[in-house]
Structures are given as C-alpha cells and as structure tokens.
A and B are shown apart, each in its own frame.
Chain A
C-alpha cells in the first residue's frame, strides 16, 4: 500500500462544501464481526445521505486500516469520516490523528460504538445487533453531516505537583518528580510520613528490614530542596483543571516549632499518658511526643485533647520549662493555605480492617487474639516489646501460634476483594517467629494461599520446610479457655475431618480497605471508584495509573491493595506520567466549549446562573460572554438557554437533533433512546460491554459530555418523533465531573415529567438514572427494566405524544427570534 505524504491532499474546509462522508465499518476480528453483519452495515451506510464511500475492514485501527482512510480522503475527496468500531473513549484519539495526518481537521470524524454498545452486549442476537449497528451508523452519519472543524487551544501547565499521602508510594512519587526538577508539595494527615510501611517489621519476600530501607527515603524527602512537606495537613478542596489545580489545605496546629532538636527532655516531664497510635495502642505515649524514632519531620507535637492546657488556660508548663530551645508554642492554631499546582498524584493509601466486626473470632474480647499489624509492632525491635513476641494476657512467649487468613477479605459482608498482601505477610511472619523461637508450633488456617509474585512461592516452600503447618479451612469459632489459651473449632477440608485445636496465641490476618479520607478526596477530584471503594483508573490495562481526570494520577493502595514493590512501581509510573504533561508545559483542550450567538441572546442570564465554573458573564450590552479558558464544555448553559443562543461546539443542538431524527427514522415506537454522559454513564455502558453483560438490543445511546447538556428540546423532539422511551443517564449526584451540572439534569427531568403530565402522557416513558463508570450492571438492569416498560407502551400513547409535542413546538417557535440558521444539510 502506498504511504501517504503528510502534506499530500491537504484540503481546507469550505463552509459551503457538500459533505462527502466515508464510512468505515470495523470487524474488530470477530469482536464485532461475530455478532454484527459488518458487510450489511457498510452496504446500509452507502445508501445514507452524504455518504460517498464505504469500507468494511478487519481492523480499522491497524496501520493498513488507517492508511486506507488517509488514501480515501485524498482519492474520494472525503471531508467527513465515520468510523463504526469500538468506543470513542478507546480510539477517538487514534482516528482523529489519522484524519489530521491526511489534512482533515480532526473534529470532522465521528465514531459509532458498535462494539461495547452493540456486538459485545448482544452476542447471541445477530439480526437485532446488525439492525442496531445500522441505526448507530445512521445516527453517526447524521451527526457527521453537521460537523464543523474546530481549533483547539493550548493551556499552560504549572510545573509543580501535589502528592496526597506520605506513605511509600507518595514518598517515591514526590522524590521522582522533585529529582526531575519540579516543585512538589506533599501532604500527609499524620504527624510523620512513612505510612503503613513504617509500621511493618520486615518485608516479603526478601525479609529486608522495612524501616531500614524506608527511613533513608523519608530523610531524603525531608531535606529535598524541591519538596515542601506538609504533615498534620489535610486537603480541604480542589478546583480547576489540568495545568492549574487550585488546592486548599488545612494544617493542624503542632504546638512545637520546627527548631525542635528531638532531645526528648519534654517527654520526660510530661505527666499525661495515652495509647500510642503508631503501636496500635500496645504502648503508651505522652501528650507531647514523636510518633516513632525515625519520624520525618523529627519535630515533636502536642496532643491537645490530652494536654492539661486547654482553651488558653495554662495549668502545666513542665515541657515549656524543659525545652532548652524554647520550641513549645501554646498559641499555635490550625491554619489554612491555598496554592496552585499543575498535576496531582493521589497516594492516599489504606486503613486496616477492624477485626471486631467478626464476633466469633473474639478480637478485643480475648486478650490473646491479636491482629497481624499488632504482631508487626511486637516483633519489631523498636516496638513496644522490643521485638519479643508475647501473649498480652501473661506476657509469656507463646509456644503455639495460629494465624487465621482472609479476615474481612473475600466476603460480601465486609470487603468483597482479596486484600492481596495478607498471605505473603503471614508466611513472612511465620518465618520470623521460627527464626527467633524455632520450637514454636505454628499453624496457618487458610482458604487459598496466593503466592503469585516473584520469589513468593519460594518463601512459601521455606515456611513449610521450617515446620509451619498449613491447614485448609477457617475455624468456625474460637473459644477462650480459663488459662488464656484459645480453642479453634473447624474443619480441615482436604481431609474431611473436624479439628479442635488449642493454641496459646491467635493472629488474625486482617485485610486492608481504602483510607477513611479517600471519600472526601473523591468528591474534590470527581474520581470514580470501583467495587471495593478504591479509585478507578482510566484503563485497567493500558492506563493503569491515569484517572479519568486529566492531570490526576494514582499511586499505591489508593488504586487497590498491593504490596510495597508494586506501590513503588506505580508511584514511579505516576510520576513519569505527570512528568510528561509538565515537561511539555502545555496541554491542548478539546474544542468543545460554548459559543454565544449574540443575535439570539436576550440577556436573561439563565446561562450565567447554571454555569458550574462561572465561565459566563453578561457584558455591558446585556449579552452573554463565555470565558474560553474557564469553560469545560459541559453544555448545561446550552440546555438551559430558551432562545437557542448558545452553541456547544462539537455537540451542537443541530447535531444532536439530527441524531434523534436518524434514530427515529425506523420504528421509534419500539426503541429506547438513551443520553449518556461521557464520564460516568457512557463509560458504565462501555464497562457493561467489556464485561459482556447482555441486555435487550432496543436501546441506542447518544453521547453528551454531561447529562446537563440534555435539553428538554431534545426530549420533546424525540417524543414528537414517536420515540417510545427516553432515558437520561449521568454521574451520581455529588460525583458530577462538572461540579454540580447534573443537579440541573434532575431539575429538567422533573420539569419534563410535569409537562408530560399536563399533556396527559405516561410520565414513565421518561427515565433518569445515575450510573457510575463501574456500574455496568446497573445499566444492564435499567435497560432490562425499560424493555419491560417498552412492551406496555400502546401505540395510542405514542400518537398522543407526537401530537402533543408537535403542538408545543409550534407554539414555542414564536418565542425564538427568526435568526436561527437552518442546518445546512438537514435530513428530514
């Protein structure tokens, strides 16, 4: 195949030029071709208005596939391209750059999603899937006819990053970015960085001392000239977008100035005691304390809930007197700070499962039942027992120990996922006990041992060789005996035998769950979450550290349970991804922002009121003006404007109405029209496709950036064309990617139902559902529900709707000034 020269065939868009559309139907191997007759779809497309060339290819995204498009653009003078293939969330950038290379503006391309939304969800209904694919292509062609070229603007990116969380992932990401020369602010809510890794004694599978390998990194971060470390600090708000995020944080008062030399004199004299959080309450600390020896910063802090000096009343000044450097400052107060950064790395980490949620294992009831994290502190030389393993009841070293696995994990009642680290952690812990006290009898009660990583299987074998007994089958219950010993009652499944085993100490191998503060972060950043509450990545295979928000990346356990090595790997990857954006210094913003048709604008200010970004204002002549850099393109203003004075570039009213027209050309009374927002619901429907969740083929989806774009005009138009059921779908309230634009969706939906009620129509023909990017099943269930509804909509009801909304349209025409341009080629 002849390769195209980049500049060859460059042609400039001419407004009066008739559309010459090329349609490319992709088989995607058998992914689409298996359940859609692609040849028939291509044939169908060739008859559509404006289509001058069609192809059906095995893989359109392949190099030859793309070359063919480029050649055809030149050869057939194509000026619009429709690719019927996978989700635009997957390959829109590919085909945009493809047509751009052939000299066409990249916005003159439209995709019909016949894979995720069609072939994959109707695997066993070939005729219906083919018919649906034809509809989707018809809708895409209708829209393509009205596409116009757009120019993207570049916005500058600040060369600084925020890292949220000071565990090993956050530390690694901050160091990588700072070493690359960017300014980094790292925020940690605890008094010291270090996270979970600082609490652990040894690491698997190499048995390295955890704090020994972490402390140098902590210290390096503490003194790095490019890093600003904020401990006892929490993020309280994030606004803005890639390149310029505005962040506000709250610093909790430390009451000790950073002149502190960690001399310990203050601690000696402080009279107040409390359980030490770092040792999970196994030891005590004073009201003035350092969380642990290697803490960074090594500045002490005062726990004001414990200190005797409250609300400015001084009753004790022992620490003040003891401090030679005069670092103690009782006048210190909480403070707030705001700053701007270009990129954000979320490394908010995990909390551990609370074992007392499983009552039959007696945690917090029997003293000799402890958790794996408590064990880590005990076996650690710097811990409360200086490395001696003891039974809490009598401080004796136990001669027998039982580990119980999967505490809180793999259960629909607690954490539904596997916590990933507990198996290897237990194996490591059992070896540590054997190393110090070889005669200890150790039994591990498990369901499955997951030793999947490099070197893990070897460690498992080592544990077995050293005498650790692995018993398949968790105890049903634990009984505490008078001498403090514990009796485990259960079944060994591999022997079909019941057991009744007495042991001196039980260690519950607790799972991990998302950090408590992560739900706030999720709101500030509009991030999606997956089943277990962990943050969702943009693509599970190919974008494993990106989020769906540009410029925001994930590292460590915030994304899902993982061990130290994986956390560090991901942190470096996230830093590298952030580096790409910051190194370039600018990012292109999609040309989808709002434009005002001044001649239509009446200056009513409705758009100003609904804009989530205050990106619209009224000028002195009472005309709306859009601030391009602030507009994110949600389209809520366009939906709100009664006078059609706002054009949403690339998602114009005309384009969407044309899609509805194409949809309703064939049997609209038997179909469901869905509007899905790009970020949550469209992605949710994609997820249903990727997971092959089968649902009725009657539904066709129109993509808008936000559900707030869905104007009542679209819904009225659909019903006036005889569409049976309309579904609007967006992100959950509070999760909207455009702050609160979906609250206007809800208002319009309620308003629309009122209008329908006034017309005596069945209001149940209009539905609204919130579907997040991970809720494919919810979409599937909704479509199934609507299919049942569809069967019960009588034709008299449809006709009534057509009549009612046509009348309304006639009436409303009088409202709108007559300046509206007719769409230049409008298929009716």
Chain B
C-alpha cells in the first residue's frame, strides 16, 4: 500500500481472539474515550486498512508504551501496527495540528524545545558552553526521508 516499512506481522492479526486485554491494559484508553486498540485490530481484520482510520485524530493517542502487546495472549504487535498507521497518515498529511507544529519547529530550529533567554542565562551561570546551532538542513533531509516531505514543503 505504501513505501513505509511494516513494523508488524499481518498474519498474527488473524490470531486475535478479541479478548480485550489490550484495551483493558491501555493507559490511553482509560483516559481518552473512543481510543480502542482492540477495535482497530477488529476493523483491520474485517475491512483492511481504512481511510477512516488514517484520518482519525484518535490514533495519535497511542503512547507506544507496548503494554498491549506485552500482555496480548498472542503477542500481536499492536503498537507496531498503530505506528504503521501513524506513518501512513503522516505521509498523506493527516497530522494533528499540535504535532505538525512540533515537526515544523524541529525542521526550522533543529530542536523540539526552543531555547529561551532564561535557559541561555542558566547555562551561562552553570558554566556550560553555549548551544550550537544544529545543522537544520540535514535534519530537514532526515524528516523528508522519513516520509514527511509534503508536510515540510507545503508551508
């Protein structure tokens, strides 16, 4: 379906018993209504990869803590599956605004958190050397290779 590498074994999915141990264990499901790894697996088995899932903001709630697959009776790689879905979604530009902001920040500054005047001052006080400017061009190239081409260049 796409150029992103698959991080899970499709055959494994058909072992799913819908026992719900994954959702029952999921810390994200506990706080975010509607996030349900068990249901994603079921829908995948029944209908394949769906546009609906790729457009959903919900999938980004997975923290990839992997407790689901740790406890799954068949060790189905549920986190791997969700990362795959996130990759596909990102490739199509279906990224939540918050994550998009973060990506752009990394692309522009090479950092996930912008150094503030305060942090610069503290570093000086502690005698740490001044922050160097990362090679943003290289970082942009890495992000492009990782499938975020559209995201970076659309601006």
Q: Which residues of A contact B (CB under 8 A)?
A: 360, 406, 410-414, 447-448, 472-477, 489-493, 496, 498
Contact = CB atoms under 8 A, between A and B. Distances in A.
Given A360-B71, A477-B25, A489-B25, 11 more contacts: A360-B25, A412-B75, A413-B75, A414-B73, A447-B18, A447-B19, A448-B17, A476-B21, A476-B24, A491-B24, A496-B36
A411 to B, nearest CB: 3
Nearest to A490: B24
Given A447-B19, A493-B18, A477 B75 contact: no
A474 B75 contact: no
Interface string B22-59: 11111001100000101100000000000000000000
Interface residues of B, number: 21
A476 B37 CA distance: 13
A489 B25 CA distance: 7
A489 B75 CA distance: 20
Name which of B15, B17, B21, B24 has the most chain A CB atoms within 10 A of its CB.
B24
A411 B20 contact: no
A474 B74 contact: no
Contacts of A448: 17
A493 B38 contact: yes
Nearest to B70: A360
Contacts of B21: 474-476, 490
Contacts of B67: 476
Contact of B39 (A413, A472, A474, A496): A496
B11 to A, nearest CB: 12
Contacts of A490: 20-21, 23-24
14 contacts: A360-B25, A406-B19, A406-B73, A411-B73, A411-B74, A412-B15, A474-B20, A475-B24, A476-B21, A476-B22, A490-B20, A490-B21, A493-B20, A496-B36
A414 B71 CA distance: 12
Contact of B25 (A412, A476, A496): A476
B17 A476 contact: no
A414 B19 CA distance: 15
Give 8 nearest A-B pairs by CB, closest first. Answer: A476-B24, A476-B25, A490-B24, A411-B73, A473-B20, A491-B23, A491-B20, A447-B19
A491 B38 contact: yes
Interface string B64-105: 000100010111000000000000000000000000000000
B74 A476 contact: no
Nearest to A360: B71
A412 B20 contact: no
Contacts of A411: 73-74
Contacts of A489: 24-25, 30
Contacts of B19: 406, 447, 473-474
A611 B135 CA distance: 75
Nearest to A492: B20
A360 B21 CA distance: 11
B30 A498 contact: yes
Given A473-B24, A498-B23, A413 B17 contact: no
Nearest to B68: A476
A690 B121 CA distance: 76
Name which of A447, A448, A476, A477 has the most chain B CB atoms within 10 A of its CB.
A476
Contacts of B15: 412
Contacts of B71: 360, 476-477
A296 to B, nearest CB: 39
Contacts of B38: 491, 493
Nearest to A359: B71
A779 B18 CA distance: 32
Contacts of A477: 24-25, 71
A552 to B, nearest CB: 34
A757 to B, nearest CB: 38
B73 A413 contact: yes
Contacts of B22: 476
Contacts of A412: 15, 73-75
